A and B are shown apart, each in its own frame.
Chain A
Amino acid sequence: MKIIVTIKVIPERIKFNKETKRIDRDGVKMIINPTDLIAAEEANKFRNPDDELIGISMGPPSTAEILNSLFKYGFDRVYLLSDIAFAGSDTLATAYILSAGIKKLVPDFDIIFQGDYSVDGATGQIPGELAAFLNIPFLTHVKSVNKKEIIRKTEDKLEYFEYQTPILLSVSDDANYGISPNLFYLKNAESKKTEIVDSKSLNSDISQCGLAGSKTSVLSVIQNEVKISKSLIEENGAEEIAKLLKKVGVI
């Protein structure tokens, strides 16, 4: 089987640039999106030893080095889709680029694992949009998957589904704790490198990538209004808390 995990590299601390209306990535330490590592662990639990685990990411070339750490977790191949034409992509353009990468690089994939959302963007739209571009079924909030069934969590139920591959699953952030480096894979990890793939080699349609392919735009960034009408308590805070807890019957 060929198992894909999509990976996003994000800034460790989120700093919003009011002028560019985007997240500032300059000079900030970059990490792998934690929810993607949770998806990677689910993929690792699901895989048989002879299955192939493939990472696909989109971002600037500088993130290739961070992606190299994926080999420690047992990834066999890692691709970074990187092109100036991809810059400024909203979720729809990102989903298109990922789909173009998957169709070109792993056309015979069986299953795609994703994080439910990325910690920096948190839109949670990529799974549905990517599934649409690939025209395959998908489920979000997946708690676990085995060869027979998928269990996923909705607002008030656990739902069980039968499925066929190919399928896309986005994994719930409470499904597990995230993948750890594996001693078995560590010895070969150093020799492997992320392969950078540009728009031309994907034959991707530039009009669907980056800003040109984005269908949403930011009009302005506004400061949330905060009206603190009450006067703040500056002394005997603990006593005031205890009094209130007693008044309302907590203690």
Chain B
Amino acid sequence: MKTLVFFKQNNNVIEIARKISEEVKTASFNPCSDCAEFVPEMEIRSFENGVHFIEYVEERISPDLMLFSDETIIRESAAFFAGKRKLGLISHSNNVYIKDGKIIGVVPGWENLSAEVYSLTKPVLLLLNSNTKIPFSVENTETVKIGPSRLKFKKDTAFDKNPLETAKVVIGIGRGVKKSLIPQIKKIAEKINAEIGCTRPVADSGILPLNKVIGDSGVDIRPKVYIALGISGAIQHTSGVNAQYVIAVNSDKNAPIFAISTLPILGKVEEIIPELEKWIKNIL
């Protein structure tokens, strides 16, 4: 099987491609000289340039599988390419494998379930969650000329990062936390210099703003300590958590969050929090 991989920064999709494919070809949206076998002559900012680039490389390689790293410009270009060619596109999978002779993308769903999704068209297009860079270089790189775009990129600026992204300590709030407890949790957060984040359902219900969501369609965090309160640990949430220590408080002994916890505590958040406040006060 021949796999063609597209990425901008997060090239760990190459590793995943190699697990299921004998032949892997690489293409980057960045014009770096040795990071991929195909690169554009300039950085791709508009979907239209991205689609031209994808079309050119796809024609050169004729892949069975096109694996796209789930980054903004890559995702945009892949979606337009799929629409233009009327090809199936398997969305934000967190794993890919072969089963019953089909290329399967594992798409996380709800209630700790995942769907095994396959495409009815060829080549198979699959967007894969990706968040890391691996050391990788190639010997020969072809620079691809880029056509015109109807969107004119003017400039870019850095933006203030969400404080959750750089916090050393994060307290995560899940549906298992009563709303009335939040002021007390905020007090603790202030004392231990922690940022507060939450799961998507908590933000959707208006308890905390959307920019506090950790995980898929939210922020990826890399703190030293993550304190997960009343969070069951759905994959959509934990995919965005990369912490050295995970402290989890949950009253459900089967909560998936315990599988990734350094300190798994079975208990009610409303009972632990007042106690914790006292302990912290004593130590400080």
A binds B: yes
Chain A residues near B (Cβ < 8 Å): 14-16, 18, 21, 23, 34, 90-92, 95, 116-117, 119, 122-125, 127-133, 137-141, 149, 153-164, 173-174, 208, 214-224, 226-230, 232-234, 237-242, 244-246, 248, 250-251
B82 within 8 A of A: yes
B interface secondary structure, majority: mixed
Number of interface residues of B (CB under 8 A): 99
Chain A residues with Cβ below 8 Å from B278 are 238
Chain B residues with Cβ below 8 Å from A217 are 117-120
Q: Which has the most chain A C-beta neighbours within 10 Å: B99, B235, B263?
A: B263
Chain B residues with Cβ below 8 Å from A18 are 113
- Contact indicator B265/A125 (Cβ below 8 Å): no
- Contact indicator B47/A138 (Cβ below 8 Å): yes
Q: A237-B272, A242-B279, A242-B280 are in contact. Are A160 and B113 (CB under 8 A)?
A: no
Which B residue's beta carbon lies closest to that of A216? B88
Q: Which has the most chain B C-beta neighbours within 10 Å: A130, A155, A237, A244?
A: A237
- Contact indicator B153/A241 (Cβ below 8 Å): no
- Contact indicator B110/A14 (Cβ below 8 Å): yes
Per the bound structure, the CA–CA distance linking A208 and B87 in Å amounts to 12
Which A residue's beta carbon lies closest to that of B78? A128
Q: Which has the most chain A C-beta neighbours within 10 Å: B73, B87, B150, B193?
A: B150
Q: A91-B89, A140-B75, A141-B72 are in contact. Are A248 and B224 (CB under 8 A)?
A: yes
Chain A residues with Cβ below 8 Å from B111 are 16
Per the bound structure, the CA–CA distance linking A138 and B50 in Å amounts to 12
- Contact indicator A125/B82 (Cβ below 8 Å): yes
A interface secondary structure, majority: mixed
Chain B residues with Cβ below 8 Å from A16 are 109-111, 113
Chain B residues near A (Cβ < 8 Å): 9, 45-48, 71-73, 75-84, 86-92, 99-100, 102, 104, 106, 108-121, 149-159, 168-169, 191-194, 200, 204, 209-211, 216-217, 224-225, 227, 235-236, 244-245, 247, 249, 253-254, 256, 258-259, 261-267, 272-273, 275-276, 278-280, 282-284
- Contact indicator B113/A223 (Cβ below 8 Å): yes
Per the bound structure, the CA–CA distance linking A242 and B272 in Å amounts to 11
Least CB distance, A147 to chain B, in whole angstroms: 15
Q: Which has the most chain A C-beta neighbours within 10 Å: B156, B158, B200?
A: B156
Q: Which has the most chain A C-beta neighbours within 10 Å: B83, B121, B157, B272?
A: B83
Chain B residues with Cβ below 8 Å from A244 are 225, 245, 247, 262-263
